[in-house]
Homo-oligomer: A and B are copies of this chain.
Amino acid sequence: MNLPPLIQSFVLHFGEMGSHWGINRTVGQIYALLYVSDKPLNADDIVEAIGCSRSNTSMALKELQAWRLVKLQHLPGDRREYFSTPEDVWAIFKTLAEERQKREVEPTLTMLRGAIMETPSGDAERHAQARMNEMYQLIELVTKWFADIRDMDVETLQKLMKLGSQVQKVLQFTQSIGRLTGRDSGKEA
């Protein structure tokens, strides 16, 4: 690896983090490198910077593309492929959330639905189904909500987050207004 220490520690950290996240080290490192780079990089730039093999780089880039985390572009008069990350950190965050939703949450919900549908034979299975249903409800609520806020514009989202738990007060306030004017402030009860 041949990088300024500042960038190297960032790249190495993301490599390590990858392991804790089921992402292989090289993929993490390459993503980190592209994230901080001030220009798009080609595969050989990456090999040079990270110190891994050309084929490993190719695999890792394919993985990152499958996650929609890197953009592929061509530079005029250069046949090589150049890679970069989106500028907007919020967009990156949203992409990550969407992909994890698709790859991990959806299959889990499908499995849970299947299990909840089965006819239980005995108390143990009845209890298990009830537990699975609790989990199902929680995941569905949280992911619907995530999808909702994911589609907000960044401005509103930041405003909401900065408001933090004070949003409670706003809600209570609005609900009393709702009661006064006879309108319901939420989708459901």
Contact = CB atoms under 8 A, between A and B. Distances in A.
Interface of A: 4-7, 9-10, 13, 17, 19-22, 35-38, 89-90, 93, 103-104, 107-108, 111-112, 114-115, 118, 120-125, 127-129, 131-132, 134-135, 137-138, 141-142, 144-145, 148-149, 151-152, 156, 158-168, 170-171, 173-174, 185-188
Copies of the protein in its oligomer: 2
A6 B125 contact: yes
Nearest to A161: B145
Contacts of A108: 13, 17
Contacts of A35: 131, 135
Contacts of A131: 35-36
Contacts of A114: 9
B90 A138 contact: yes
Contact of A141 (B156, B162, B185): B162
Nearest to A126: B38
A71 to B, nearest CB: 15
A187 B164 contact: yes
A171 B163 contact: yes
A53 B158 CA distance: 49
A148 B132 contact: no
Contact of A22 (B20, B163, B187): B20
Given A19-B22, A151-B165, A13 B111 contact: yes
